[in-house]
Amino acid sequence: MSKTFYIETFGCQMNAHDSEKVIGTLEQQGYARVQDEDAAGLILYNTCSIRDKAEQKVFHRLNEYKRLQGEGKKFAVLGCVAQQEGEKIFEKAPYVSMVAGSASYRNLPEMLRRLEAGEERITGLDDRQTELTFETEFTARSNPHRGYITIIEGCDKFCAYCVVPYTRGKERSRTAASVMVEAKKMVDLGFTEIQFLGQNVNSYRDPSGRMSFAELLVAVGELPGIRRVRFTTSHPRDFTRDIVQAIDDTPTLCDHIHLPVQSGSTAVLKAMSREYTREWYLERMSWIKAAKRDISITSDMIVGFPGESDADFEETITLVGEVKYDAVFAFKFSPRPNTPAVTMADSIPDEVKSERLRILMDRQREIQRTHYGRHLGEVQEVMVESYNPSRNQVVGRSSQNKTVNFSTAQIVQAQPPVGSYLPVRITQTLPNCLVGEAIADAEAMPLVSVQGGLDFVVLN
């Protein structure tokens, strides 16, 4: 087996960041990354099992490339599907040589040595009681300006529909000291935005007892050189008022909170084992809306959970109208392996689920069309992410995590560097993005060029 590898990642930001750490570990072990399966000696799939048919997608992809087995290539399945399916993967796909859940990535160097020595069925499947986290200095970060830090792994919530507690183990937090060390290293490397990650990121509990979640946010936000700090995903049960206060008091903390509600019906929330009510959730919304800053709110929702009546669904629609989310990510219920919901009668026909999803997203689109209007005429600081040559626009992101497409007529350097920050006046609002013009008012909001990047000039 040549020491080259190709990795494909499915799923969430946690998986994407796990892959960055896996890539760094592989490179530290002497492997070189390639961008094509045909050129790789080792092919890895980092998998997700949150959505319906995730396992089938993985096995379909494996089947596509089993023809490469005869060329001496090795295959590895990582992540949630690996932990969920375990050694059954070897039965379904005998050409796979390694199966490793996310809690075993710290053992990758040893597993790689066994693979190189010729072992054919290597497993890294940890029990959910592990206290260990995957901390490594060899993270291969794909974005040189915005970087992730996983501060908590696993989940103890056991929502009826969710497979995460069974695939990622129990909640276990890193020490605040180790998080600060990693954040400082990132700042030294030129990162200006850091995003905390966790299945329930605000469930963070510093093992040393030094800092609360809100205090850790502030500590990183106060590091010299940091422009933005984000966090995702939060759970309503652990959402506390001091998080809102931290955002109000610390300009570098982004004014965006993703707080999944899943349903607007207390009865459905109880069936989901969410352990809060509609009223509990709305109280937290009131804290956010009372903040001095305009904090963007986004959420996740599930339609068609077993037993969801028309009246229950209508409560979700009224909740959306009351909160006025800036974005909603909604899905039809699908039973996941090993979860309590598997044993519930899935009594909602698929066509009803589809219709409810359509109604929900149409309502949310109406809300966004009017709610985004509050930004018209505002000047927002936008981080440059890419360019759209066909429209002669720069694509960026605001502190509220909204996409901003803007032109640079007043700027001599037509393409400001990716990772730089510009003040942009919002001239148009659309349901899914903002449109604007970079402005010359550097006094109101100084332009910031990226470390080591090109400077650009503003016409006064």
The verdict on whether residue 80 carries a ligand-binding annotation is yes
The verdict on whether residue 433 carries a ligand-binding annotation is no
The verdict on whether residue 162 carries a ligand-binding annotation is yes
**What's the CA gap between 87 and 207, in Å, rounded?**
33
CB 328 within 8 A of CB 360: yes
- Annotated binding site: which residue ranges? 12, 48, 80, 155, 159, 162
- Residues in binding site for [4Fe-4S] cluster: 12, 48, 80, 155, 159, 162
